Amino acid sequence: MRTTRIVRIQTESPSVKTFTLTDRLCSKAKPGQFLMLWIPGIDEIPLSVLNAGDNIVSVSVKAVGDATRHLHLLEAGATVGIRGPFGNSFTESRGRVLLVGGGTGTAPLLFLAKKLAAITQRLSFVEGAKTKNELLFVQELGAICNEKNLVVTTEDGTAGLQCLVTQPLASLLDKEKFVMIYTCGPEIMVKKIFELIEQRKLPMEASLERLMRCGIGLCGSCLIGRYRVCRDGPVFNAAQLREVKEELGISKLGFDGSRIPV
C-alpha cells in the first residue's frame, strides 16, 4: 500500500467522475489491468485503469456504494491509498477489431482503443448506456475510431439506437470480419456477447467485474469456476469463458461468501 494524492477530478456524467493520481508503479499499467484504491476510513475498492503514463494513473468511478460515494466527495489534493497494478491485460490485435463497452466498462476499452489505434486496420466500437447522460467518452471514441465506426445505443432512445448494446452486434458480426472482439461491462451483457461469439466461432476477450477484496488471489471472493478474477484475469478469452459459462452472467459470490444472482 502506498499513499498518494488526487491531482485532478473530472466529471464525466451525473454519476461518474474520473480521478487522476500520481503513482510510479500504476503509471505502468496496461489496458485491462486494475488497481486497488483505499479511501481512508471507508474501504478499499478495485478500479479498472482508464489511462496511465508519465507517473500518473486515471480511473473512472461511478457512485454506486458507500466507498464510491465517499470518493466522489473528495477534492483534488486529498490523500488516498493505492496498490497495483494487478491482473493481466488485453492482448493487442492487428487487423479489424471490435470493442463493446457498457457503462464504466467503457473506460478500460478506451485505454485499449488508444493503444490499438496505431496498429489496427480498422477499429470499431459499440457503446451502450441506459440514457444519453450515462454515455461515457463518446467524443474521444469518435476521434479514435472514426465516427462512422462508432455505434451508440441507449435503452431510452435519448441517443443513438434505442436498444441494448448487444442488439446491433449480430448483424455487425455477420457483416464484418473481425480478428478480435473485446468487451467490458455488466456480466449479463458479457454473457450475451459471448453467446453471439460462440455461435460464430470468433475470438474474444472479456474483462470481468466481480467482488474483489485482496486483489492478489488470496481471499477467493472473486471466484468464477476455477478462476480467481483478480489473479487469473480480469481478462478472459473465449476458451476460458466457455469453461465458466454455467456461472457467467448467472451467479457470483456475495460479501458473506454465499452464492447470489449476478
What class, spelled out in words, does domain 95-261 have in CATH?
A: alpha beta
Q: How high is the pLDDT of residue 257?
A: 86
What tens digit of pLDDT does each residue of 202-215 get?
A: 999 999 999 998 99
Question: According to CATH, where is 3.40.50.80 located in the chain?
Answer: 95-261
Please tell me the distance from the alpha carbon of residue 121 to that of residue 204, in angstroms, as a whole number. 17
The 10s digit of each residue's pLDDT in 5-40 is: 999 999 999 999 999 999 999 999 999 999 999 999
Phi, psi angles (nearest 5°) of residue 22: -90, 130
pTM greater than the 0.75 cutoff: yes
For residues 87 and 33, the answer to whether their CB atoms sit within 8 Å is yes
Q: From CA 180, how far away is CA 186, in angstroms rounded?
A: 20
* CATH 2.40.30.10 correct for 2-86: yes
Residues in CB range of 52: below 8 A, 6 or more apart: 26, 27, 28, 29, 30, 58, 85, 111
Is the pLDDT reported for residue 3 higher than 90?
A: yes
pLDDT of residue 256: 84
75 residue type, one letter = E
Q: Give the per-residue pLDDT at 148.
A: 83
**What's the rounded mean pLDDT across residues 149-178?**
93
CB count within 10 Å of CB 196 equals 18
* Mean pLDDT value of segment 193-204: 96
Judge contact between 91 and 113, C-beta under 8 A: no
pLDDT tens-digit series, residues 49-89: 999 999 999 999 999 999 999 999 999 999 999 999 999 99
Strands (E), the chain: 2-11, 16-22, 34-39, 43-48, 51-53, 56-62, 79-86, 95-102, 120-129, 150-154, 161-162, 180-184, 204-207, 223-224, 227-228, 235-237, 251-253, 259-261
How far from 107 is each of 16, 207, 219, CA to CA, in Å? 11, 11, 26
Compute the distance between CA of residue 32 and CA of residue 48 in angstroms, rounded to an integer: 7
Judged against a pLDDT cut of 80, whether residue 147 lies above it is answered with no
What is the rounded average pLDDT of the residues 160-184? Answer: 93
**Every domain range in the chain assigned CATH 2.40.30.10:** 2-86
pLDDT of residue 146: 78
The CA distance from 147 to 191, in Å, is 27
Q: Please state, in angstroms and as integers, the Cα–Cα distance from residue 67 to each residue in 20, 43, 44, 62, 74, following that order.
A: 17, 6, 8, 10, 11
Cell digits for 227? 478462476
